[in-house]
Amino acid sequence: MAFKIPESVLVVIHTPRLDVLVLERVGTGLWQSVTGSREPDDPDLEATARR
């Protein structure tokens, strides 16, 4: 089992009017932003965000 790299990215997806995409967590009523963990083969954080 590979360990996670302790780096992540916050991805802000928005419209030209600055409406922002957030995700509702099932059954909690809580909202969260889109995030991603860095993988060993990602050359940099931009690649992580694109993936």
- Residue-wise pLDDT for 1-38, tens only, equals 667 788 888 888 899 999 999 999 999 989 998 888 88
Cα distance between residue 13 and residue 34, in whole Å? 8
Res 41: pLDDT:
87
Residue type, 27: G
In single-letter form, the type of residue at position 9 comes to V
Give the integer Cα–Cα distance in Å for 3 and 40. Answer: 9
